[in-house]
Chains A and B, each alone.
Chain A
Amino acid sequence: MKRSDFPFLGFGVGLRRDHYVHIIENHPRIDWFEILSENFMVAGGRPLEVLEAVCARYPVVMHGVSMSIGSTDPMRRDYLRELKALAQRCEPAWISDHLCWTGVGGRNLHDLLPLPYTNEVVAHVAARIREVQDFLERPLLIENVSSYMAFRDSTMTEWQFLAEIAERADCGILLDINNIFVSAFNHRFDARTYIDAIPRERVIQFHLAGHSDHGAYLLDTHDHPVRDEVWDLYAHAVRRFGPTSALVEWDDNIPEFDVLMATAGKARAIHEKITGETPRDAIRSELD
């Protein structure tokens, strides 16, 4: 896997139901969309019609929440088959999911739970990522999650764990800047140290989102604007990784599409200021 194997998509937003009509009718000038894979793993009806319309006009990336790559259950073949079929339908620029487990014993918690950071778990997860990549016949990006608990058994830091798995599995990294910020507060580590330790060649995408402050901990809620401290961390990441496709996630208290556009625009402005480059909006200008 090489960074140059992946296109630079620019600055996009997550495709959410609240905005379907606006996007299909008005074709807003946004570089790209990220879809939640599971929302479109259905037999038919409106979601697939919307997806077809969006894919016809914009680059799309598939982002999943249910792969459960860190579970000790066998990989779910039914899930992978449907994921592969969806990928064949929308030909995403890439597919991503989270470095976590979401269930065990055939049951699903519908949450992104952290793993103990040990060599044994590194080997387990890396082998499963390779299995998924072989099955999908596409590279996978794994994303760091926000976490609220850490394991006594851990023998390495989260950033060592993430980097080691990506190297061993030969996969990409979706670096969620807000998740780093949230987990840094919750576990008292330095967010910049995390970013500086991630191998540059593996990072293909950034996530930006808002979180909520519960006093004793921060919660990754995706229901607020991106906080200034997270923008600062994003700037640090742009300095380290250079041009990297960035995406704004907003899943609750979803604002008007223009607010998401403006947030993606801010990510672009920070990127341009730091790199001194105006990323050529090649895809959009071709479409226009």
Chain B
Amino acid sequence: MPSDLNWTERLLYRLITAPSGVAEGLAQEKSFAPNALAHVIAGDDRLSAEERVDIYANMYFYRILDVLKEDFPATLAMLGDARFHNLVTGYLIEYPPEHFSIAYAGRRLADFIESHPMREEFPFLADLARMERALIDIFHAADATPLDAEAMRAIAPAEWPALKLMRHPATEILALQWNVATVLGAIDRDEKPSPPARKQLSMLLWRSRNRVSYREIDGAERDELEAIAAGCTFAEICEMIASAAGEENPAAAINQRLEAWLRDGILVRG
């Protein structure tokens, strides 16, 4: 590895990602004399060395900002442009991109918001960003053949009790403190969103025919889906559903639950 090249690349990396611009980045370079950049990068009458590096610094920030605006439209709508810009500035310092694909640049935004002072004014923001990110992750999650009603009927009833089911890889359950689905709904309808209500809930997200959908689920359904992910058998899941249904027609409760899961493609065969 050429050491000069490594030194140059590391220097440029620091300058391009300096949060307040290349000039401030240069000031931080303790072993670097003023104007020393001009000995590395050729400036001319049109643009100085610093201005040339600044072009890259601007592109770095705004390219990622644009991607995050597209990935987090509801978070952006709630914050407005200026606050979102500041949020991303801080985020890139804490979580600079490491993945080779820019599509992953926003993967830790919700984690960053968890400890951000902006959360005092927008306490629902981390939940909102987590939900928006989950929609993207599920859109790109692995394919698998979902179990539908016809496939289920093709399995001999005698095999059902020991049948192992799995959750489709393109499903996720989020534990939320705020009903952020109302914000996403407003964005989808091109309406100005209002802050969501505080509400502890579980949200099931899934992909069906390339569309990502979501719905609130109750604690019983969440536990059943977690049990499926943990490898419980069909008989064990049915027991859980029946037990949650109590005295009221457990068979109908099982049918209803299974019908919804099969319709939405939530399950695959284990």
Q: Tell me, rounded to whole Å, the shortest Cβ–Cβ distance linking B57 to chain A.
A: 10
CB contact between B143 and one of A45, A103, A113, A153 (< 8 Å): that residue:
A45
- The reply to whether B56 and A151 contact each other, CB–CB distance below 8 Å, is no
CB contact between B59 and one of A46, A79, A111, A152 (< 8 Å): that residue:
A111
Q: Using A49-B210, A104-B13, A151-B41 as known contacts, say yes or no to A44 and B141 having CB atoms under 8 A apart.
A: yes
A124 to B44 Cα, complex, angstroms = 29
- Please encode chain B, from 1 to 45, with 1 for each CB lying within 8 Å of some chain A CB and 0 for all others: 110111011101100110000000000000000000001111010
B105 within 8 A of A: yes
B110 within 8 A of A: no
- The reply to whether B60 and A109 contact each other, CB–CB distance below 8 Å, is yes
A111 to B61 Cα, complex, angstroms = 10
- The reply to whether B5 and A216 contact each other, CB–CB distance below 8 Å, is no
- The reply to whether B140 and A44 contact each other, CB–CB distance below 8 Å, is yes
Using Cβ atoms and an 8 Å threshold, which residues of chain A touch B207?
45
Using Cβ atoms and an 8 Å threshold, which residues of chain B touch A136?
none
Using Cβ atoms and an 8 Å threshold, which residues of chain B touch A152?
39-42
B interface size (C-beta, 8 A): 48
- The reply to whether B8 and A45 contact each other, CB–CB distance below 8 Å, is no
- The reply to whether A103 and B60 contact each other, CB–CB distance below 8 Å, is no
Closest residue of chain A to B210, judged by CB?
A: A46
A110 within 8 A of B: yes
- The reply to whether B143 and A44 contact each other, CB–CB distance below 8 Å, is yes
A110 to B96 Cα, complex, angstroms = 11
- Please encode chain A, from 96 to 108, with 1 for each CB lying within 8 Å of some chain B CB and 0 for all others: 0000010111111
Q: Using A105-B13, A148-B56 as known contacts, say yes or no to A42 and B140 having CB atoms under 8 A apart.
A: yes
- The reply to whether B98 and A153 contact each other, CB–CB distance below 8 Å, is no
Select the stretch in B46-54, B117-125, B240-248 that faces chain A. B46-54
- The reply to whether A109 and B101 contact each other, CB–CB distance below 8 Å, is no
- The reply to whether B102 and A110 contact each other, CB–CB distance below 8 Å, is yes
Using Cβ atoms and an 8 Å threshold, which residues of chain B touch A121?
2, 5
- The reply to whether B139 and A149 contact each other, CB–CB distance below 8 Å, is no
Using Cβ atoms and an 8 Å threshold, which residues of chain B touch A87?
none
